[in-house]
Structure 1
Amino acid sequence: MTSFITPIKYEQDTMYLLDQTLLPSKEVYIEINNKEELWEAIYRLKVRGAPAIGVAAACGLYVCTRDLLTDSYGEFCAKFHEVKEYIASSRPTAVNLFWALNRMEQKLLALKSSASSSCWEKEQIHIKNQLKEEALKIYQEDVEACYAMGMNGLSLLKPGMGILTHCNAGTIATAKYGTCLAPLHLGQERGYDFKVFADETRPLLQGARLTAWELNKAGIDVTLICDNMASIVMKNGWIDAVVVGCDRMAANGDGANKIGTSAVAILAKEYKIPFYMFVPTSTIDLNTPTGQDIHIEERNGEEIYKLWYAENMAPEGIKTYNPAFDVTDAKYITAVVTERGIIYPPYDINLPKIFE
């Protein structure tokens, strides 16, 4: 059986996050006690991957508000909302962040009828316990969703296939199992003997530091390649399918994922290789019409030429453009794999059906 790495732990009323910026050299868990630490962890990519960000946000929002001392339900709601909005400002693209935070707030608002001003001290304890239960429910739902997504994805793959990945949508990007890497882990347990090629994923190297590390740790045959080698491995006939994750999918099926994903999709189309995007339903944003409406986070340009080098690999102060994501047009996506099933084009018609 595969031993799954857990990126988020909640033990003895304490929250810990695996600091993924230190991988693969060190496996260190950091304790989260306040909104500043949580914001920093999300922004600095200590926790990353849309599902994991959502789970961390839900658990973290509870942790950051469990010690609030207020005189009324209204005052508690106001302070809770303030913390929620602060955490939400950490990263603008991953829809799971806002989905999880909003769900926690909706849970709080649903408890209004039980809040009594005459015994607020007692009711406050009850409300906080309910928020904790909701956060842990979000955690467990992600575990179950990723397993289902993995099984759905595995139905599209055959033993011995060559698989190309980009970025990391593995077990460390979720509560457990992963999204696009879930079928690889589950296939490993079933003797599928996949041959995986992992794009390094510039500039933050999630493919090299995280996917290659995670799959190697699980005993899966993985070969690390530079991003600009994707075309040649496809041309060589070594790739039978591409599997990638998604940080936000628009209503028309356009999917935002780590920068470089769209280039892989275009190559796959050229070489007639199926391109599968793994998308938890919590990541599908039917309120966003197309990929053009997705806000793309732009990060500090020093990540391109300074972050991983002993000396700068470009002149100091050089102009840079460093978008964290790009949008893969729906026409390049062979199928969308969710925990509720596999969706095929036309996505503008079939995506809403998954919620019925």
Structure 2
Amino acid sequence: MMKRQDEGMPFLLRYENVAWYEDGAVRILDRRVFPHEKRFVTCHDYHEVIKAIQDMVTQSAGPFTAVGMGMALAAYQCRNEEENKQVAFLTKAADELGHARVTTANRYSVITHRALKKQMQTLKEGKSAVEAAFNDTIESLNRRYATEQKIGDNFVKMLPNNSSFLTHCYAETVIGCIIRAAKVQGKTFKAYDTATEPFFQGAKLTASCFAEGGFDTTMVPDNMVNFVLEQGKIDVFTTAADSVTMDGYLVNKVGTKQNAILCHRVGVPYFPTEIPDLDKKDHRDIKIEMRDPEQSMEFEGKKYTMDGVKSIYPAFDITPPYLINALVTDRGIFSPYNLSAYAEMGGEDFY
């Protein structure tokens, strides 16, 4: 049995607590109510996995695991059909799961179509397509966690001891890897985490991981970032990214750009931790997901605005390279203006 890469990770990042297939169902931790409630959403149809992703039951890199486990569930759903019908069903599932969210469809689709390829081969051999997708998802998790650990190691290595950094949203695996790297390297730090409206991923998820890891953790309400920066409390701004295009633009949770602008104004460097998307050459091809604006006017199901009040809810924004000091990757630290140097090292099977 392969060694799992989630050893020593915070609760949120252990494989079973991200998304997990077992006995004809996919169980997904509901991050919308964490940490005051540890509740799981159980999906018995792969379409329910898609809805869970779209409803933000899981987000950041959580859907990478969910769509893989969703392919295992799809195989379970069609297990009694003839082989050609199973292939047709699984092909449709791979496309639909892969496009659960438009901005990150390229990353999801790599996972679902690789699982599909392995499932088709397995069916020809008369073996279980369920196990093929499940095992591929675990391999994918191990591969990503190992790669993210290199990123975390490089990020912590560049920080002086007792540094403080600002985060926005939830950077998923790399947070656990930063925590592990700091402990190995004997460093400590202070984490300042924006609340990140409207789902408060920073307050609920990021801050929980750092606090669980034993680090000094402060939640910063979104409208107080400039105040904290001007107090001189922050040494570095960092986030992960939902995409980094090869022309140096970074797509991440909406609000990332305005925080980068504020940091640029006061001289705080922005060092995002992510690998570039070799298949995304130009930021102008990015499609920003526009979510239901009603979701931005409620908290945990309770609306807090008067009827008739309108809102807007883009899921992401795009930060230009002039606001990014350098990209911290698994292969070192790169200028956003020279990501071709990363590409020249050759692509790897990351997802």
Would you say same fold, with TM above 0.5? yes
Alignment-derived partner of residue 134 in structure 2: 132
8 A contact 2:247–2:336 mirrored in 1: no
8 A contact 2:249–2:336 mirrored in 1: no
Distance 1:326 1:133, change over 3 A: same
CA distance, structure 2, for counterparts of residue 104 and residue 208 of structure 1:
34
Alignment-derived partner of residue 241 in structure 1: 236
Q: How does 1:274-293 map to 2 (within 5 A)?
A: 274-279=269-274, 281=275, 284-293=276-285
Alignment-derived partner of residue 336 in structure 1: 327
8 A contact 2:45–2:77 mirrored in 1: no
1:81 aligns with 2:87: no
Which deviations, in whole Å up to 9, do the C-alpha atoms of 1:154-212 show, x marking residues without a partner?
A: 1121210111000011xxx3xxxx22563245315654221111111122211112222
CA distance, structure 1, for counterparts of residue 119 and residue 244 of structure 2:
27
Distance 1:251 1:106, change over 3 A: farther
8 A contact 1:216–1:222 mirrored in 2: yes
8 A contact 2:10–2:176 mirrored in 1: no
1:255 aligns with 2:262: no
1:106 aligns with 2:92: no
1:301 aligns with 2:293: yes
**Deviation of residue 127 (structure 1)?**
4.5
What SS does structure 2 have at the residue aligned with 1:162? strand
Alignment-derived partner of residue 158 in structure 1: 160
Alignment-derived partner of residue 341 in structure 2: 350
8 A contact 1:2–1:218 mirrored in 2: no
Alignment-derived partner of residue 174 in structure 2: 179
What SS does structure 2 have at the residue aligned with 1:295? coil
Q: Provide the aligned length of Structure 1 versus Structure 2.
A: 334
Amino acid at match of 2:251: A
Distance 1:126 1:38, change over 3 A: closer
Alignment-derived partner of residue 45 in structure 1: 56
CA distance, structure 2, for counterparts of residue 324 and residue 213 of structure 1:
22
Distance 1:355 1:32, change over 3 A: farther
Which deviations, in whole Å up to 9, do the C-alpha atoms of 1:265-301 show, x marking residues without a partner?
A: 122222222211111x4xx333323222211111111
What SS does structure 1 have at the residue aligned with 2:267? coil
Alignment-derived partner of residue 262 in structure 2: 267
Which deviations, in whole Å up to 9, do the C-alpha atoms of 1:214-256 show, x marking residues without a partner?
A: 2222221111111222222222211111110101111212111
**Deviation of residue 9 (structure 1)?**
5.2
**Deviation of residue 132 (structure 1)?**
3.1
Alignment-derived partner of residue 60 in structure 1: 70
Amino acid at match of 2:32: T
Distance 1:103 1:339, change over 3 A: farther
Distance 1:345 1:83, change over 3 A: closer
**Post-superposition, which runs of at least 4 consecutive aligned residues in structure 1 deviate over 6 A?**
none
RMSD, aligned CA: 2.5
Which deviations, in whole Å up to 9, do the C-alpha atoms of 1:3-30 show, x marking residues without a partner?
A: 5212325476564321101112101233
8 A contact 1:188–1:220 mirrored in 2: no
TM-score, normalised via structure 1 length? 0.85
1:219 aligns with 2:214: yes
Distance 1:340 1:59, change over 3 A: farther
1:29 aligns with 2:45: no
CA distance, structure 2, for counterparts of residue 232 and residue 58 of structure 1:
42
8 A contact 2:270–2:324 mirrored in 1: yes
Distance 1:290 1:108, change over 3 A: same
CA distance, structure 2, for counterparts of residue 3 and residue 147 of structure 1:
11
Distance 1:193 1:8, change over 3 A: same
Distance 1:27 1:309, change over 3 A: closer
8 A contact 2:244–2:251 mirrored in 1: yes
**Deviation of residue 326 (structure 1)?**
0.3
> Identity percentage over the alignment?
23
TM-score, normalised via structure 2 length? 0.86
Unaligned runs of 5+ residues in structure 2 are 1-6
Which deviations, in whole Å up to 9, do the C-alpha atoms of 1:96-128 show, x marking residues without a partner?
A: 22221122223345x28x82xxxxxxx342554
8 A contact 2:246–2:280 mirrored in 1: yes
Distance 1:341 1:56, change over 3 A: farther
